[in-house]
Amino acid sequence: MDKILDIVEIIAYEKGLQIDVMQNIVKNEILKLAKNSIDSDMNFVVDFDKKDKTIKLFHKVKVVDDDYDFSKDDSKKMITISQARQSGDVAIGDEMLFELNIDNLDLNRNIISNLLKDLESSIEKNIENQIFDNLKNSIEKIVNGMVVYIDPKSEDTIVEIDSIRARLPRKNRIKGEGFKIGQSISCILKRIYIDKKYGIQIELSRTAPKFLEELLKLEVPEIADGEVNIMKCSRIPGVRSKVAVSSNTPRVDPVGATVGVKGVRINAVSKKICGESIDCVEYSNVPEIFIANALSPAKVVSVKIMDNKAIISLYSDQKSKAIGKEGVNIRLTSMLLGMELEIEDLGENPNALNIQEVEKQPNDIKESGKQLLESLFKS
């Protein structure tokens, strides 16, 4: 048994497990072995002697009255008060431990071999659970890893993160981007679960709106500090996205802070997602105002909301801006708001200046100035 402990300590060192975790694993395996080798109906306790670092096995029993009916199934877990008092001063209800010689266990070569396999299996499972618990805290957070394999059939990318392999499915990859083995990439940890056959399974994504939000948090200090909040985000990955932001303090312009001086912040994020164009709009609790902001650069005349549908009125010269190239702008706005959008064309803008009148204005100004000078000299 000392040899088993030595092997366990070596495995613990190699796997980086704490000694108390290893002790619990060993205890459980010895208890299982005692149940199988001695009696499955008995209660056993396993303990470590810290002085000589040996394993000790005990039979645990409960003290009962002399009239106890031992025909019950739990008779091997009981001892009468008369028998118990032969070992010391005890009372009914107390629990007693009787040490067993652990060397008397049926430890043939096959059993020891199986025990070692069970120990290693338990250790691996414990490590897996620890990794799973740690990674659960990273869900919807950015993780960095190295590309180690690209599946030729599915085109899924396998990424190694802290010695754990994760999968970036093709559908979660920005259209047009490709990776090489050995390349470092950043992704959002989208999902993690344990498969009975394959163990821990990790799904990554570079197309989720949350990935863009986390990238902005890394690039914009005001977002990281909580002065600016990302309220909503919608994406057509690799093409364009919209981010609605708000500020917790009047002194901070949420859009200006997110975009940065001359767009330096937003451009830095855009480069990380294949040049995806990012629109920043100011969030409003008033749906009509928020919709008008979100449809930028189009200028909206009015917004009317009916159920889960918004009717947006604007002049003809703003319609193409509202819809955007291939309908991207209105699609992103609809995704951002979570409602259907309908555009109402109001025709030509009556307030727009006639081009011919604009062209005539300089001559009219010159003529009026000339007349004014002439009147002064005449007087």
Task: Per-residue pLDDT tens, the chain, 379 aa: give them.
Answer: 555 566 667 767 777 776 677 777 778 878 888 887 788 888 888 887 767 667 788 889 999 888 887 776 677 888 889 888 888 888 998 999 888 877 666 555 565 666 667 777 777 777 777 778 878 888 999 999 999 999 999 999 999 987 789 999 999 999 889 899 999 999 999 999 888 777 788 999 999 999 999 999 999 999 999 999 999 999 999 999 999 999 988 899 999 999 999 999 999 999 999 999 999 999 999 999 999 999 988 999 999 998 889 999 999 999 999 999 999 999 999 999 999 999 998 888 777 655 445 445 555 554 555 465 456 545 4
7, containing H or E segment: helix 2-15
In a domain, 52, yes or no: yes
Q: Which domain holds residue 314?
A: 209-345
Q: How many separate domains does the chain show? A: 3
Q: Which of residues 165, 190, 205 is at a domain's end?
A: 205
CA angle 283, 284, 288 (to 5 degrees): 120
Do 340 and 219 reside in the same domain of the chain? yes
- Cβ-contact 304, 253 below 8 angstroms: no
In a domain, 304, yes or no: yes
In a domain, 133, yes or no: no
- Cβ-contact 291, 285 below 8 angstroms: no
Do 278 and 332 reside in the same domain of the chain? yes
Do 213 and 340 reside in the same domain of the chain? yes
* Displacement of CA 357 from its chain's centroid (Å): 60
Q: How far apart are CA 175 and CA 235, in angstroms?
A: 12
Do 194 and 228 reside in the same domain of the chain? no
Do 201 and 226 reside in the same domain of the chain? no
Do 200 and 226 reside in the same domain of the chain? no
Do 179 and 252 reside in the same domain of the chain? no
Tell me if the pTM is above 0.75: no
Do 14 and 77 reside in the same domain of the chain? yes
Please give the backbone phi and psi of residue 115, each rounded to the nearest 5 degrees, phi first.
Answer: -65, -45
Q: Which residues contact 331 (CB under 8 A, 6 or more apart)?
A: 236, 324
Do 108 and 229 reside in the same domain of the chain? no
Do 73 and 171 reside in the same domain of the chain? no
Do 224 and 302 reside in the same domain of the chain? yes
**SS3 of residue 151 by DSSP:** coil
Task: List, edge to edge, every strand of the sheet that includes 302-306.
Answer: 302-306, 309-314, 340-345
